[in-house]
Chains A and B, each alone.
Chain A
């Protein structure tokens, strides 16, 4: 399947899902609407229907017209499977970071996230900078935001006795 066809399908499917599944379920109509004001679902439904039309148009154009040259995406030569794994890994890291905040606190979670992300970029050369960025950076930022702006960062259930 070519990229333009896939793109048309994804766009049409996303807006169709929104118009026919999400809007009826997650946009409740109030029992009483004052005056002649349109109901709350009018706008999201309209936008979704326009989106479906645009998606179908993109699909039709992709099927009927010769595919225009699109700029290739630059990669390191890894297979799509490998790149997919990297993406899934990053999504997992983001999810884990959010899940860990209540237990480890904002500071430790951010340190762990930064270290993992730096390593995921393939950086191995600047060891001192990796250390400074991952461990000293979050600490300094926490101090700055806490003392100059008064931001209170969440403490972890496991790390609260240590003060962070």
Chain B
């Protein structure tokens, strides 16, 4: 085995492979940082180029793009409150307030450190736990999936904003919007126009909800912040700050690795889950959402922590965990490799090369992140009155280019107005978004579970795993309510 590992290391450590990985990560960071351009787009666009490459370098290029774009999403999330990718939405909650306080560099550095650690741990999990985790994920059926997602949703609703009730309202709105389009039996729901028959894409909803309300606020309320973010040079994360967030980084990395290994969950849910857990368990939980470094650490360690882990079901079972690994499955097939249990027997050398390459790419992510950070930090110097229209411009072009659809641009603008309305009513946006992403899976698993049980709803509490998730939901709700009641009592006492 050691000989095989050394041989694989020798094969990976060539100048060509290193350059490919650097290009992939750098390109991914840049693409991820541009609002409206997603990691999926980067990986898909690179796919044709891999036709002309050897199998392992081609997969490494795609993996590097995936990792780079996942981290890159945090750059725009922090600097302009526009998550470049869905998985960076939580990062914006604390990153942008920090940038407004002139601590953009600190936030970007923390995002980078957390991403690299999460990514490295995720790669280790891929190496050591691929088979056992894949077996565990296989045992999860529709009722368990439904309860798992319901738990994730409850947690997010509980931790976003100041009110559990408004968090749940936001989640209900997201779930409702997710039902637009064709359902699993071919019925069209809320298809007011022919374009709506295909449903609403995630990208315009996400970008519209998070990026455009800032522009609308600026136009309607005209409160442009004139202060510029401080330079990055003096914004290093101190040892105390890093150590204070280390627990959340490690926890987020593990959450990302576990959730990423379950097909369909992916980096976005992992980031939300980790953020909620960090807020719940942190001493500084009340500061989350107002510019807390630990919030960024939790979110970024989990979303990058899920990157390597999404490869677990792909490599071990041949099941892609999300859209990006779905594209990678295509790349494997093009190269004559068939992911699945047999891959570990017939192409062990390539598997080792891939795993070693992924570990190396974690290190490269650090350097690419540092270099790109300085470049994107210039954004902080642009006046808000010019920057926000620029964001609108990037969003419109980016969103249009995904599906060449003017309808998607319309969805983007409408979601901006919806986001502004939610801001006026103090309804948090994060539960809306996660509900919108999880909604179709949640409903599909509920309907499958009901079909399997012949319409008996008790199927949702039929196995130990479903009971565990039910107990966690009750615990999360109870904990959040208790926290709110205490806070309310304290506020009343202060008022008296």
Q: Which residues on A are within 8 Å of B, measured CB to CB?
A: 3, 6-7, 10-11, 15, 18, 22, 26-30, 33-38, 40-44, 47-48, 50-51, 54-55, 57-58, 61, 66, 68-70, 73-76, 78, 83, 86-87, 90-91, 94, 97-98, 101, 106, 110, 113-114, 117-118, 120-123, 126, 129-130, 133, 137-138, 141-142, 145, 149, 151-154
Alpha-carbon distance between A133 and B392 when the two chains are bound, in angstroms = 11
A25 CB, min distance to chain B CBs, angstroms:
9
Decide: B401 and A151 in contact? CB cutoff 8 A. yes
Contact of A47 among B45, B172, B220, B427 (CB under 8 A): B172
Contact of B223 among A11, A44, A74 (CB under 8 A): A74
Asked if B136 is at the interface (CB within 8 A of a chain A CB), the reply is: no
Known: A26-B189, A33-B185. A121 touches B222 (CB 8 A): yes
Task: Name the A residues within 8 Å of B392 (CB-CB).
Answer: 113-114, 117
Please classify how large the interface on chain B is, using the bins under 10, 10 to 19, 20 to 34, 35 or more: 35 or more
Decide: A86 and B220 in contact? CB cutoff 8 A. yes
Task: Name the B residues within 8 Å of A41 (CB-CB).
Answer: 189
Task: Name the A residues within 8 Å of B451 (CB-CB).
Answer: 35-38
Decide: B389 and A98 in contact? CB cutoff 8 A. no
Q: Mark B369-386, 1 if CB is under 8 A from A, else 0.
A: 000000000000001111
Asked if B219 is at the interface (CB within 8 A of a chain A CB), the reply is: yes
Decide: B224 and A36 in contact? CB cutoff 8 A. no
Task: Name the B residues within 8 Å of A121 (CB-CB).
Answer: 215, 218-219, 222, 224, 384-385, 388-389
Alpha-carbon distance between A127 and B291 when the two chains are bound, in angstroms = 34
Tell me the residues in window 147-167 of chain B with beta carbons closer than 8 Å to chain A beta carbons.
Answer: 165-166
Q: A75-B222, A98-B410, A121-B219 are in contact. List 13 more A-B contacts (CB 8 A).
A: A3-B426, A6-B425, A26-B189, A37-B185, A41-B189, A43-B175, A44-B179, A47-B179, A75-B221, A76-B223, A87-B220, A106-B400, A121-B384
B429 CB, min distance to chain A CBs, angstroms:
15
Decide: A58 and B165 in contact? CB cutoff 8 A. yes
Task: Name the A residues within 8 Å of B222 (CB-CB).
Answer: 75-76, 78, 86, 121-122
A59 CB, min distance to chain B CBs, angstroms:
11
Known: A69-B491, A73-B424, A122-B222. A47 touches B183 (CB 8 A): no
In this complex, which of B393, B404, B409 has the most chain A Cβ atoms within 10 angstroms of its Cβ? B393
Known: A7-B426, A35-B451, A151-B404. A68 touches B417 (CB 8 A): no
The 6 residue pairs across chains A and B that have the minimum distance between CB atoms: A123-B385, A76-B222, A40-B187, A36-B455, A151-B401, A121-B385
Decide: B169 and A11 in contact? CB cutoff 8 A. yes
Contact of B390 among A6, A43, A113, A137 (CB under 8 A): A137
A sample of 11 inter-chain contacts (CB < 8 A) reads: A27-B179, A36-B453, A37-B185, A58-B169, A86-B222, A87-B216, A91-B417, A117-B392, A129-B386, A130-B386, A153-B400
Task: Name the B residues within 8 Å of A122 (CB-CB).
Answer: 222, 224, 385
Decide: A149 and B401 in contact? CB cutoff 8 A. yes
Known: A10-B425, A36-B450, A126-B383. A28 touches B188 (CB 8 A): yes
Asked if B446 is at the interface (CB within 8 A of a chain A CB), the reply is: yes
Decide: B413 and A94 in contact? CB cutoff 8 A. yes
Alpha-carbon distance between A61 and B454 when the two chains are bound, in angstroms = 39
Contact of A30 among B172, B185, B384, B394 (CB under 8 A): B185
Decide: B185 and A40 in contact? CB cutoff 8 A. yes
Measured CB to CB, the nearest residue on chain B to A115 is B389
A17 CB, min distance to chain B CBs, angstroms:
11
In this complex, which of A26, A47, A75, A126 has the most chain B Cβ atoms within 10 angstroms of its Cβ? A47
Contact of B443 among A29, A34, A43 (CB under 8 A): A43
B18 CB, min distance to chain A CBs, angstroms:
24
Decide: B168 and A54 in contact? CB cutoff 8 A. yes
